[in-house]
Amino acid sequence: MNFPWKPIRLNPQQTLALGFAVIIFLGSFLLWLPISSVEGRTLSYIDALFTATSATCVTGLIVVDTGTHFTYFGQIVLLFMMQLGGLGFMTMTTWFAIVVRKRISLREKLVLKESLNQTNIEGIVRLIKNVIIYSLIVESIAAVCFTIRWSFEMPFGKAVYFGVFHAVSLFNNAGFELFGGFRNMTLYVDDIFINVVSMVLVILGGLGFIVLSELIDYSKTRRLSLHSKIVLSLTAFLTVLGAVVIFIFEYTNMHTFGALSLPDKILAAFFQSVSLRSSGTNTVDIAGLRQATQFFMIVLMFIGAAPGSTGGGIKITTFAILIGAVLAMLRRKEDVVLFRFRLGQEYTHRAITVTLMSLLLIFIVTMLLLATQEHSFLMILFEAASAFGTVGLSMGLTLQLTITGKIVIILMMFIGRLGPVTMAYALQPKNKKELFHYPEGKMIIG
């Protein structure tokens, strides 16, 4: 029997975008159900959609208090969305296919390549196996550590539940917490155990699964790829730089660090710096920070974490290529060289494209929010950068967003999780190969 229509063939980027959208809308429906909210409280659909998007895109911006508004059912729905959003729905789907011994098609491998920001499909199935195994091991160890710590201040069953939830949330850089009162982790600003475990989780989640895989195999291979070297060195540099700048700016601020002891100030500075990779957790009041600190945090949120990780932003490798390109131009060199490796021009072109598209996106969203929200420019810019970088930190604007503002931030979180280039590829029609080249032109720059 012949059908009058042809089946729709989605490219990998469209499949990725559609998959995330399906998870978000399914999750929003579950969160909207009365069973997800405690008795006497209701959740509008726009708030359910906002929360589902924030969880699936592992952002952490919230319009209702997670710990007091949602029932156990609603919180578990959030838990699954954070895990799916962090690891990627295609990763989880492929894992189930491997378990039931189903063959992974070439098309599925291409989608996996796109979801994990890989350059080719070689070894992609093995990487998926490692992603799941490493994630479960790290989350399990962290959950045990949290459970032991919280068992001293709450019933053991609740401590286990809190341990599992926050281990998943922090490793996936999701930023959701259950402490209530919109306090995030400010209760534990001086708790070195919880701070260290949380920072380790955020860093491991933000390094990316390729880097984790190479680190685990390092004892056998004794080598790291250029990608891993760049991610590890820049992560360390930006973390230390962020901690030093925040420590200096906030040292005498009585709203944040002023009342803390010197060791606690150092601990808090490092925690906020690590959180800017994309975790969305904080141990001090973000709104109480000095404006210089808040603006500096916007820059670090924009840079984000590593490709193929649970974090967002333009990615550390993009930032590295841009710095390399600038240095090459200043030194009048033709090639961008990092760790004695020359990078092709396509990497520089892609880095510039990602950065300019991201800046344009933040510019547009900031303009829209300025037109619809009655708040300061810095507060709105901070919110836009946080949503784009899927960081989840807020100066307090999230709770005061209008319906229009919520829709804008929902779209921003979605694009931020997928990446502006991936989203552009998903929206554009199929490319046709050019059969000719235009003549080369010359122009003056600078």
- What is the SS3 assignment for 70? strand
Assess whether pLDDT exceeds 60 at residue 99: no
Least reliable range by pLDDT among 42-56, 93-107, 245-259, 285-299: 93-107
Tokens describing residue 187 = 């209760």
Assess whether pLDDT exceeds 80 at residue 426: no
Computed on alpha carbons and rounded to an integer, the radius of gyration of the chain in Å comes to 22
- Mean pLDDT for the stretch of residues 53-71: 92
Query: H or E stretch including 343?
Result: strand 341-343
- Residue closest to 351 by CA, chosen among 307, 388, 310: 307
- What is the SS3 assignment for 19? helix
- For 304-361, how does the pLDDT look when each residue is reduced to its tens digit (9 = 90+)? 988 877 778 899 999 999 999 999 889 888 888 888 888 888 888 889 999 999 999 9
- For 179-234, how does the pLDDT look when each residue is reduced to its tens digit (9 = 90+)? 988 888 989 999 999 999 999 999 998 888 788 888 888 888 888 888 889 999 99
Per-residue pLDDT at 363: 96
Per-residue pLDDT at 429: 60
Average pLDDT, the chain: 86
- What is the SS3 assignment for 305? coil
Assess whether pLDDT exceeds 90 at residue 33: yes
Per-residue pLDDT at 3: 46
**Residue 290 CB: number of other CB atoms within 10 A?**
15
Q: Can you give the residue ranges of every domain in the chain?
A: 12-424
**Residue 216 CB: number of other CB atoms within 10 A?**
14
- Mean pLDDT for the stretch of residues 398-409: 94
CA angle 350, 352, 357 (to 5 degrees): 95
Burial bucket for residue 134 (CB in 10 Å: 0-12, 13-18, 19+): middle
- Mean pLDDT for the stretch of residues 285-305: 94
Task: In whole angstroms, give the CA distance from residue 390 to residue 370.
Answer: 20
Per-residue pLDDT at 97: 54
Tokens describing residue 345 = 């021009």
Per-residue pLDDT at 13: 72
Assess whether pLDDT exceeds 70 at residue 235: yes
170 pLDDT band, cuts 50/70/90, is very high
Per-residue pLDDT at 1: 45
Assess whether pLDDT exceeds 70 at residue 386: yes
Query: H or E stretch including 64?
Result: none
Assess whether pLDDT exceeds 90 at residue 40: no
- Mean pLDDT for the stretch of residues 10-35: 85
Instruction: Tell me the torsion sign for CA atoms 234, 240, 244, 247.
Output: positive
Phi/psi-derived region of residue 439, left when phi > 0, alpha when psi is between -120 and 50, beta in every other case: beta
Task: In whole angstroms, give the CA distance from residue 244 to residue 241.
Answer: 5
Assess whether pLDDT exceeds 80 at residue 10: no
Instruction: Tell me the torsion sign for CA atoms 384, 389, 391, 392.
Output: positive
- For 131-148, how does the pLDDT look when each residue is reduced to its tens digit (9 = 90+)? 788 888 999 999 999 999
Per-residue pLDDT at 308: 76
Per-residue pLDDT at 297: 95
Per-residue pLDDT at 118: 58
| Cα atoms in the 13 Å half-sphere on the side-chain side of 53 | 27
